[in-house]
A and B are shown apart, each in its own frame.
Chain A
Amino acid sequence: MSRRARLLVFGLGAAGLAVMFAFAVAGMPPFGTSEHLYRDLAVPAALQHRTANVVSSVNFDQRALDTLGEEVILLSSVIGTAALLRPTRGEVRRPTTRGGHVSDSTTLVSYLLLPVTVLIGLDVVAHGHLTPGGGFQGGVVLATAVHLLYLAGRYESLERLRPLTWYVWTEGLSAASFAVIGLVGLAQGSGFLANVAPLGSFQSLLSAGTVPILNVVTGAAVAGGGVVLLAQFFGQAIGTTRPPTRRSTS
């Protein structure tokens, strides 16, 4: 289609959808009312399982099946990216180059922040059932921490300190453990992904049953997945090159 025809079709469609959406939004309940059916169900359910962070209770207890699905989506994207960015026959490893300059202050700050970031990540994961945060958020922080190495120095030092296979295994095993913890509930007769661990006492570190366990598992999966994912892009952008073809040399 010509540019104009495309814009016309798009404009007509977008205008139609906008009218429909306006009608739909007009039918929404007013903002900020006290009436909310799911909240009225979810908060008592969270308290019943001694989970202080209700959002975590919804994510890892009440609707844990959704979270299993989401974690597997992440796993699938990581495997998919690894498959799509794998080195092809035409690509070879780029020879190591010394070059690029990193200022000393950047290096220093990166090294200082590395342990802090790891600690924050672990903290966010470990307290997911008590305070805002959890496995997904903490996992992203942990994956970020590893890449401070890249900021601090050269790509090779990151590569040396990052046995990628381990991260692949972490990711695969932790995604599998999420499902297996679910199956434990099934085997005990309480239902798939049921909260079968001892509930502990409210607001203490050891409370909420399986919620912190699933948080840790998710944190590991997300951290492993994040590292593997970024490694693929790094590998494609920095680590490999295409040997010059005849056309590009002439």
Chain B
Amino acid sequence: MTKLSKGGMDRRQFLSTTAAAALLASVSMPKIAFGAEKTVKIGFLAPLTGEVAAWGKPGLDGCHIWADWINADGGVKVGDEMLKVEFVPYDDEYDPSKARAGAVKLIKEEDVKFIMMLGGDPWPGASQVAEREEMLVSTLLPSDLTPDTEMLLAPCEVHPIYNVTGVEWLAENKPDLKTAVICAQDDALGKPSVATYLAAFEAAGIEVLDEPIFFDPATTDFAPIMSKMLALKPDIICLDTCYADYVHPLTEQAFQQGYKGQMISCTADFYQKMVEKTSKEFMEGFIFQFPDFDDPKLNEPHVNFKKPNDFYQEYLKRYGAGEWSAVSWEYASIMDLWADAATKAGTTEPTDVLAAMKEGGVGKHAFGEADWWGEKLFGINNALVGLWPVVAIQDGKAKIQDFKSIPDWWDQHSDLLIKHMKALGQMYYQRT
């Protein structure tokens, strides 16, 4: 046996000690940044694994493209400096206790200046930490907003309010459709969305047949749900804000059970797979709310998202066509808003950036100028609301049909939305 030292260490001991030391170093040593470039760190606290990862991971991928482009241009201008942007991800696994640990790590150890979250279940875990540390946080789920959440913003996706635009467009363009049925998973995402669709259908003069069907999130057999819906012979089948794992089998069931009418859904993530499993003809006219970013309509002057078509091509090049989802661009668009506000504020300090972001009560939303809004629905004006696209599948490809104004709809029908939200216990003051 070869002795590596006079102390008598053999090769096996040497290798195991070295491996242990390397592992220990990787666990305990802070990462050292070489070079003189100044960097601002942004936290990405969202599910990267598990059932809800589809609404976290693609967003992080989009952020990497955003950061590479911004950094290639020199970074974000803050005061007299150009700051490179570095994303620090933490997988919260959609669990509040892990979100709390993640928030602590990002704020106290990584010194991030802004945290982006998916929101929902994990938010209560992170909220107290964020409040104490006065950290600016964004969510994609404005149902997290309450009058107390002053540092929490919903600056991109005001789910589920934008769903009204799809129904409004449908009523204008297909006035012969008069009845609808709704199904949704019985959870925090499904319920407010059902309330919104109920309000939108009522505003559009479309009758909702029977009560909405709430199914358990653990459901795996969707045939009975679709049979029950089809038995009512509706003109429109509404899939609410179902997760991709439900939208796909429900759509397949509708196809297999011979449905030939209109379908509408909040999302149609990975819709190409649905087209493959059904047919182009069946999916023709399927309405949802999330465009592919190669759509030429995204080059209209009111759209603030920078180089959307290039962003889409780059995303497909890096991650593949099947990976694009509703959230692929959303976190990146929030970063546009944050970068503008940091430049305007001349600092990355969260409270100053928040003030700069909300200055004048308007902001540059990805799809156009928008208002900071939400007091009646969330108790606080921290949701950025403006135009939202209505998307339909045409010849197997998602295409924007129009941009509709959420504030315009709200001005006419706010009472309906509040009525249905109240009925389902979704108003901010009804939440426990």
Is B one of A's binding partners?
no
